[in-house]
Structure 1
Amino acid sequence: MNPNNAGGYDQKSPPPPMMQMPMPTVQCPPPAGAVPGQWTTGLCGCFEDPSNCIITCCCPCITFGQNAEIIDRGGTSCVVGGLIYYLLAHVGVACLYTCSYRTKLRGLHSLQEDPCADCLVHWCCIYCALCQEYRELKNCGFDPSIGWVANAEKMNKGAATMPPMTQGMGR
């Protein structure tokens, strides 16, 4: 290490590479008793997760940002998604943006467009829709409140703890 270098590494050496988190592919298995292709909770089941219901009622940009980060697999940060929601809500068109994430979520988990078109659900019941999407992500094993990186680490740790495949003893 060069003592004259305040950066902590020799200027001739490149900085250490950033660790990239592999994006696990997650197929959401329906919970026991659920019908494949259908939402695991109803649109009006907001009180199944009371804390998320309260957060969504007081500040829907938080719930939307958390959902968007998980649905986009980290491509949209919680802060950016929430800020876009906040700005669009002030001109009354947030539902035009948020409904696209409902469509993405349905595509990722093969869910039906229920009870009606995604844009109509978000236009009429945006708070209920955001809560339902949050619950769906939770029921698929994600925790939207901790962000994509923490969820990916949790899933990768789960995959790393699986016992290695061993072959029979050779002679």
Structure 2
Amino acid sequence: MNNPGKQSDGYPPPPSVGIPAAGVNQYYKPPEHLPRPLQVEPQATLTPWSTGLCQCCDDVGNCCITCWCPCVTFGKIAEIVDRGSSSCGTSGALYGLILCVTGCSCMFSCFYRTRLRSQYSLPEGSCPDCLVHCCCESCALCQEYRELKNRGFDMDIGWVGNMERQPRGVNVPPPVVGGMVR
């Protein structure tokens, strides 16, 4: 027998007086055994680093400069990553000042690693950028320098020099409009 005031599925009974009865699907509950669709966000395609973190000796000259004066390497990297908005000398001097005053220049340089990775879709790896710079500052700077160099930048001429070296489109003179007529 059906008991009109009680339902066996755990939902309250539809109202019976004063309110019009709803359709059949008012108390529909989807089955719990069906999986919910996954919300997957598309990711940008990451390209691997051209060299590893510990391959500093692939460029012995840069490795030596970075070990003895990391502000030079950092300045060159920062000028390219900033796309010329800061000069090599200014960035290198600021890095050197932070290094001398606080000893924590790695906190400054790790932001440039993050920007470099973002610009060129490079993977972060198993360690965050700040940890890489805090533990292996020289190796990180050498890897970033080599990455930019392997991407075709001449690190000695800076951003402006690299942009001037780029081939430009064919320069077409503007069209000549007829002379003034009275």
Q: Same fold per TM (> 0.5)? A: yes
Distance 1:86 1:120 in 2: 20
How many angstroms does 1:63 deviate by? 0.2
After TM superposition, the structure 1 stretch with the greater mean CA deviation from structure 2, 36-45 or 96-105, is 36-45
- Measured on the aligned residues, the alpha-carbon RMSD in Å equals 1.8
Residue 159 of structure 1: how far off its partner (Å): 3.3
Partners of 1:40 and 1:136 within 8 A in 2: yes
Q: Does 1:63 align with 2:73?
A: yes
Query: Does structure 1 residue 95 correspond to structure 2 residue 106?
Result: yes
2:153 aligned counterpart, secondary structure: coil
Partner of residue 24, structure 1 = none
Q: Is the 8 A contact 1:115 1:121 kept in 2?
A: no
Distance verdict in 2 for CA 1:54–1:115, change over 3 Å: farther
Could you tell me whether the CA contact under 8 Å between 1:39 and 1:136 is conserved in 2? yes
**Aligned AA for 2:112?**
Y
> Which structure's residues are more often helix, by fraction?
1
Bigger-Rg structure (1/2): 2
Q: 1:36 Cα shift?
A: 5.1
User: What do the CA deviations read for 1:54-83 (whole angstroms, capped 9, x no partner)?
Assistant: 111111000000000000000111011101
Match of 2:117 among 100, 106, 113: 106
What's the secondary structure of 2:156's corresponding residue? helix
Tell me the matched-pair count.
127
Gapped regions of structure 2 (runs ≥ 5): 1-44, 173-182
Q: Secondary structure at the match of 1:144?
A: coil
Q: Which has the higher contact order (CA 8 A, sep 6+)?
A: 1
Alignment match of 2:168 (pick from 141, 159, 165): 159
CA distance in structure 1 between the partners assigned to 2:121 and 2:47 by the alignment: 5
Match of 1:75, as an amino acid? S
In 1: Cα distance, 2:127 partner to 2:72 partner: 25
SS, match of residue 123 in structure 2: coil
Q: Does 1:127 align with 2:135?
A: no
Identity across the alignment (%) = 55
Q: What residue is the counterpart of 2:53 in the other structure?
A: 43
User: Residue 148 in 1 paired to residue 159 in 2?
Assistant: yes
Deviant stretches of 4+, over 6 Å: none
Give the counterpart letter for 2:157 in structure 1: I
